[in-house]
Amino acid sequence: MKTFKIGGVHPSENKLSATSPIRRAGLPKQAVFSLYQHIGAPAKPVVAKGDEVKVGMMLAEADGFVSVPVHSSVSGKVSKIDAIVDASGYRRPAIFVDVEGDEWVETIDRTPDLVTLAQRPELTAEDIVNKVKAAGIVGMGGATFPCHVKLTPPKGTKAECVIINAVECEPYLTADHRLMLEKPDEILVGVDLIMKAVGVDKGYIGIENNKPDAIALLTEKAKAYSHIEIVPLQVKYPQGGEKQLIAAVTGREVPAPPALPINVGAVVQNVGTVFAIYEAVMKNKPLFERVITVTGKEVQNPSNLLARIGTPMNQLIEECGGLPENTGKVIGGGPMMGKALMNLDVPVCKGSSGLLLMSERESRRAEPQPCIRCAKCVSACPMGLEPYLLATASALRNWELAEENDITSCIECGSCQFTCPSTRPMLDNIRMGKTTVMALIRARNAK
């Protein structure tokens, strides 16, 4: 069975919500829409205080090519345009909507009927990309890169295959797993749409073998799609990283930045993104809701919720039994790459894949000890880097040394910190160093 060759670790899976069917979360009383739900320029408001909106109506338009619009997930009245502290911990501009009912725009097809590409032969590649762009779709695995940009390869590059990331290697998270079990037909049509958009005739769906039910179901369904192959993969973190997944599925290695997956002929999309593309193109539905896992060892009812964008996280926690008394930390995402939330009023965004509640004991960091030169972090790094060196260079603010040792290649997976017997905060230092070095490179290139 396939996997990537360099590094990797095996955290405890803790897939507590894997058998919990997706259920619809309740509507919030007030929905809050950050204008920074994607990588690139923030969206630009097209509504004002007092405006009436419906579900699916545009609230903010894309402000550049690497940008996407934001749509309302509720009906009601715009109460204000202000700022919030989002999941990143930064204050961001946002649109606040007081909810009144649940009235959708009439153009959205709300029927459960499957629509295949064969039923829509008039769709061109350009049509698909334009619909994806208009729907505000981003990478829903957490990266939030505008999807239409990926579907428009740069000049001089050519896509050879589409790879769907259905790995969900982050511990605890099960949203993608449940989506595959409950929406397999829509996902396969979504893959068809992506392949037509980028002009390739081969697609792969990579799934780790801790999801045998999803592998079996999609393998059976894919018999009707000779150009789509289901690829079972060994369980190894961080196989959901683009470069690791490409290496596992095709054996090709993506070079260091600024090289991209397209440089080795691959276009990679998360399975949740694939479903959103299906809904956008075939159902005229913008991206205003998503499946999010709410979980933790002390959570009363670990669940996979279909939540409207803009819903406060504390509401989702209440729907899963409430906040346990011994909660020490609430993480947006999974335990490896997620970030602790500043408060529980943070709204669900397009990249919100999970909400992990950790007890005080689980979330308490051990006191860092001196490095014992064991090199476990080097063995674990899936990018073949030297994390101990990058972390030290960053801590000492030696940006030249950090750049020379390819800090920009770090994918921030946390494998180094996970495996360190001295519990050193390597990922924290490397993240800080990588951000600084990338800013220095941009400033240098701008001269």
Same-domain check for residues 70 and 148? no
Same-domain check for residues 183 and 159? yes
Same-domain check for residues 204 and 93? no
Cα(294)–Cα(351) distance, integer angstroms: 14
Same-domain check for residues 250 and 327? no
- Asked if 227 contacts 201 with a C-beta cutoff of 8 angstroms, the reply is yes
Hey, what are 178's tokens?
A: 């449940």
Same-domain check for residues 153 and 272? yes
Give a yes or no: residue 3 inside a domain. no
Same-domain check for residues 294 and 274? no
Give a yes or no: residue 1 inside a domain. no
Helices 184-198 and 212-221: crossing angle in degrees, nearest 10, is: 60
Mind giving me the DSSP string for 264-321?
GTEEEEEHHHHHHHHHHHHH---S-EEEEEEE-TT-SS-EEEEEETT-BHHHHHHHTT
Give a yes or no: residue 19 inside a domain. no
Same-domain check for residues 256 and 295? no
The domain boundary residue, chosen from 363, 397, 419? 363
Same-domain check for residues 337 and 382? no
- 410 marked as binding residue: yes
pLDDT in tens, 12-41: 999 999 999 999 999 999 999 999 999 999
Same-domain check for residues 135 and 237? yes
Same-domain check for residues 176 and 80? no
Task: Residue 149: give its domain's CATH number.
Answer: 3.40.50.11540
Give a yes or no: residue 148 inside a domain. yes
Furthest C-alpha separation in the chain? 64
- 147 marked as binding residue: no
Cα(62)–Cα(18) distance, integer angstroms: 35
Give a yes or no: residue 206 inside a domain. yes
Same-domain check for residues 77 and 96? yes
- The pLDDT of 362-386, averaged and rounded, is 96
Same-domain check for residues 48 and 174? no
Helices then strands (H, E): number in the chain? 14, 17
Give a yes or no: residue 158 inside a domain. yes
pLDDT in tens, 316-368: 999 999 999 999 999 999 999 999 999 999 999 999 999 999 999 999 999 99
The domain boundary residue, chosen from 319, 339, 363? 363
- 374 marked as binding residue: yes
Cα(252)–Cα(266) distance, integer angstroms: 9
The answer to whether residue 87 scores a pLDDT higher than 90 is no
Task: Residue 46: give its domain's CATH number.
Answer: 2.40.50
Cα(51)–Cα(38) distance, integer angstroms: 24
Q: What is the mean pLDDT of the chain?
A: 96
Give a yes or no: residue 20 inside a domain. no
> Where residue 5 falls among pLDDT bands split at 50, 70, 90?
very high
Distances (CA, A) of 77 to 57, 82, 315: 12, 15, 20
- 349 marked as binding residue: no
Structural domain that includes position 334: 289-363
pLDDT in tens, 201-230: 999 999 999 999 999 999 999 999 999 999
Cα(164)–Cα(250) distance, integer angstroms: 12
Give the contacts of 97 (CB within 8 A, at least 6 positions apart).
Answer: 30, 31, 32, 33, 53, 59, 72, 74, 76, 77, 78, 79, 310
Domain count of the fold of the chain? 4
- 169 marked as binding residue: no
The answer to whether residue 88 scores a pLDDT higher than 90 is no
Give a yes or no: residue 349 inside a domain. yes
- 371 marked as binding residue: yes
- The dihedral region occupied by 89, where left means phi > 0, alpha psi between -120 and 50, and beta the remainder, is left
pLDDT in tens, 227-270: 999 999 999 999 999 999 999 999 999 998 889 999 999 999 99
The domain boundary residue, chosen from 341, 363, 385? 363
Burial letters 296-309, b for 16+ CB under 10 A, else e: beebeebbbbbbbb
> Where residue 83 falls among pLDDT bands split at 50, 70, 90?
very high
Give me the amino acid identity at 340: A
Q: Output the pTM of the full model.
A: 0.96
Task: Residue 333: give its domain's CATH number.
Answer: 3.10.20.600
